Chains A and B, each alone.
Chain A
Amino acid sequence: MAESPLSLRSLGGSALLAAGALGAVALSSAASAQSTVERRLAALESRVERLDDRAKIENLTRAYGYYVDKQIWNEVADLFSNNARVEIAGRGVYLGKAGVQRLFLQSMGGGQIGLRPGGLFNHMILQGVTDVAPDGRTAKGRWRAFVQIGQAKMFGIWSEGTYENEYVKEGGVWKISDMHFYATFYAPYEKGWAQGARPNNGPTRDAPPDAPQSVEYDVYPGHYVPPFHYPNPVTGKPWTVEESREYSTTGMSPAPAGPPIQPGSPTPAAPAPKPAQ
């Protein structure tokens, strides 16, 4: 019996075809496994990146506090983005690189870098609630500063306040793009907050802000609830400006905003008693 080469070839062809089909199936399933692995890897990389972002934002904000402690204003000013917006207490809004430098070096520092002898400006940065945007390009943080200000033999002040910050990642480096510090209280050490309360710091004449204070609010004995940037972590309900209004006093600040309190200031005068509302 003579086998037809044709049929052999035909058989071989069929075998080849079958093998090829199998190969194609294997290939496509491998490709699909590969794309699943790819997706999971990319998701993991993104999650780890967000954790790293959070660590960097924490370091950045705490490092800010350590520079402010010692009034190293040039290092402070360098922590902000080019288009930053900064508002500290009642000093008004400072914009951009030039504004940030004017605020810290002039309004806060009075043209001097470093503490004056006998000066104290401890600025503890605590309790960060930080949220990095899913795309990893921006972030928000609420922090508080617990503050001891003093000038030996002249005055000592306890102070505390809330920071609501925004951050931006520029060229792979996290910077502060928006900083708003709301003072809670300024209490002279010798009297304490039950007996003495000083007003919020107002604008500096020599280094005026780019825009007036954006939110008028009361410091102690009045109170203000700076809007929480985050929704309730359990219910997800966002905080509204209306709620801040509902839970805040008006017209209870100790006195109209006075000159900034800082080491080197003359002994602060006692605030004028606030007329009853």
Chain B
Amino acid sequence: MMNIKNWTRVGLAGAVMAAAIVAVPALAQSDRGVEARLAALEKRVALEEDRAQIENLTRAYGYYIDKKVWSEVVPLFSKDAVVEISGRGVYKGAKGVDTLFSKVIGRQHKGLADGELSNHMVLQGVTNVAPDGKTATGRWRAFIQIGMWQKMGLWAEGTYDIRYVKEDGKWKFSLMRWYGTYFTPYDKGWAQASFGNNGPSKEFPPDAPQSVQYDAYPGHYVPPYPYPNPVTGRPWTQADTDRYSTRGMDPSNAANSSSAGSPLSLESQHPQQPPR
């Protein structure tokens, strides 16, 4: 006869086994929980990295512009990029981007001329990466010193509205719009003189005309914020922009008495320089 003690042992062991058997699916279930949390973490870390890469990309762009190294600027754009700088009109695709930077802005010269200054500080990025990690938006500003030794010096400032796309694992600019806020000669300052936005190039015309007509200082324009208010979540609308922007006050507008003179292209101020 089996004694009570033995039956107790059997019962106890059985109970432990039973507990183990019940615990296995519980563990498996919690593994799935771990798996899901790891996946979420990986995604969030990837988005943080995306933001860091977008910041580096945009700031690196500024450092190349500083020195007019167009061959390094052009590859920063996606295949189908759309770029619009100041009032020069819209340039599209790799070829358009190259035309804009190397030919229109760069006047077919590489690098700074002797005595030239083209400082392009890229600052204050508000960046938002889409949850899928494939696109992003950014608002930045450029604070600019342009000059030619013993000829001219200019302060300028303006807003960048940028869209990014991740192509083959690399972040690139897919859309870039730069809106000039002011262009003012160093010797006079913004209270006394201001230049208008640069107009389109006749020699290397854009693929499409300027998409938005707007005033530079002494007029002003509020480039639409690509993000909602960070606290209220209210999106910015084109109607808001229209309400808070002037019309017909650009210095290039002949009717504007604040104009420093005729429309002025920053490029036209650059001296002729020998090809390199």
Q: Do A and B bind each other?
A: yes
A residues contacting B by CB (< 8 A) are 5-6, 9-10, 12-14, 16-21, 23-24, 26-27, 30, 34, 37-38, 41, 44-45, 48, 51-52, 55-56, 59-60, 62-63, 65-66, 70, 72, 75, 78-80, 113-115, 117-120, 122, 124-126, 146, 148, 150-156, 173-175, 189-190
* Residues of the B chain whose Cβ atoms lie less than 8 Å from the Cβ of A174: 230-231
Indicate if the CB atoms of B41 and A152 lie closer than 8 Å: no
How many angstroms between the C-alpha atoms of A65 and B3 in the bound complex? 84
Beyond contacts A34-B27, A152-B190: 13 other A-B pairs, Cβ-Cβ < 8 A, are: A6-B3, A20-B13, A26-B20, A65-B124, A66-B141, A78-B231, A79-B229, A80-B231, A114-B244, A120-B218, A124-B124, A148-B182, A190-B191
Indicate if the CB atoms of A10 and B2 lie closer than 8 Å: yes
Q: Min CB distance, A47 to chain B, in Å?
A: 9
Query: CB within 8 Å of A: which of B44-93?
Result: 44-45, 48, 51
The answer to whether A173 and B6 touch (CB under 8 A), given A21-B16, A154-B191, is no
- Which of B48, B126, B227 has the most chain A CB atoms closer than 10 A to its own CB? B126
* Residues of the A chain whose Cβ atoms lie less than 8 Å from the Cβ of B38: 41
Indicate if the CB atoms of B124 and A126 lie closer than 8 Å: yes
How many angstroms between the C-alpha atoms of A63 and B230 in the bound complex? 8
* Residues of the A chain whose Cβ atoms lie less than 8 Å from the Cβ of B265: none
Q: Mark B135-165, 1 if CB is under 8 A from A, else 0.
A: 0000101010000000000000101000000
Q: Which residue of A lies closest to B247 (CB)?
A: A117
* Residues of the B chain whose Cβ atoms lie less than 8 Å from the Cβ of A63: 126, 225, 227, 229-230
Contact of A16 among B17, B34, B37, B123 (CB under 8 A): B17
Q: Does B105 contact A (CB under 8 A)?
A: no
* Residues of the B chain whose Cβ atoms lie less than 8 Å from the Cβ of A59: 126-128, 227, 230
Contact of A120 among B127, B159, B192, B217 (CB under 8 A): B217
Indicate if the CB atoms of B17 and A20 lie closer than 8 Å: yes
Query: CB within 8 Å of A: which of B158-210?
Result: 159, 181-182, 189-192, 194
* Residues of the B chain whose Cβ atoms lie less than 8 Å from the Cβ of A114: 222, 243-244
Indicate if the CB atoms of B232 and A20 lie closer than 8 Å: no
Indicate if the CB atoms of B124 and A66 lie closer than 8 Å: yes
* Residues of the A chain whose Cβ atoms lie less than 8 Å from the Cβ of B189: 150, 156, 189-190
* Residues of the B chain whose Cβ atoms lie less than 8 Å from the Cβ of A10: 2, 6
Q: Does B253 contact A (CB under 8 A)?
A: no
Binding site secondary structure of chain A: helix
Q: Min CB distance, B114 to chain A, in Å?
A: 27
Indicate if the CB atoms of A70 and B220 lie closer than 8 Å: yes
Interface size class of B (residues with CB under 8 A): 35 or more
Q: Which residue of A lies closest to B248 (CB)?
A: A117
Contact of B231 among A23, A79, A146, A153 (CB under 8 A): A79
Indicate if the CB atoms of B128 and A19 lie closer than 8 Å: no
The answer to whether A17 and B190 touch (CB under 8 A), given A37-B34, A41-B41, A59-B127, is no
The 9 closest A-B pairs by CB, nearest first: A20-B16, A156-B191, A189-B189, A152-B218, A16-B13, A23-B20, A20-B13, A114-B244, A17-B13
* Residues of the B chain whose Cβ atoms lie less than 8 Å from the Cβ of A122: 157, 181-182
How many angstroms between the C-alpha atoms of A5 and B3 in the bound complex? 11
Q: Does B276 contact A (CB under 8 A)?
A: no
* Residues of the A chain whose Cβ atoms lie less than 8 Å from the Cβ of B212: none
* Residues of the B chain whose Cβ atoms lie less than 8 Å from the Cβ of A190: 189, 191-192
Listed A/B pairs (18) with beta-carbon separation below 8 Å: A17-B9, A20-B13, A23-B17, A27-B23, A30-B23, A34-B27, A59-B126, A59-B128, A63-B126, A72-B222, A75-B229, A117-B219, A117-B220, A117-B249, A119-B220, A148-B157, A152-B258, A156-B189
Indicate if the CB atoms of B139 and A55 lie closer than 8 Å: no
Q: Which residue of B lies closest to A71 (CB)?
A: B244
Indicate if the CB atoms of B9 and A45 lie closer than 8 Å: no
Q: Does B238 contact A (CB under 8 A)?
A: no
Q: Min CB distance, B85 to chain A, in Å?
A: 19
* Residues of the A chain whose Cβ atoms lie less than 8 Å from the Cβ of B255: none
Contact of B229 among A20, A51, A78 (CB under 8 A): A78
* Residues of the A chain whose Cβ atoms lie less than 8 Å from the Cβ of B246: 117
Query: CB within 8 Å of A: which of B1-50?
Result: 1-3, 6-7, 9-10, 12-17, 19-20, 23, 27, 30, 34, 37-38, 41, 44-45, 48
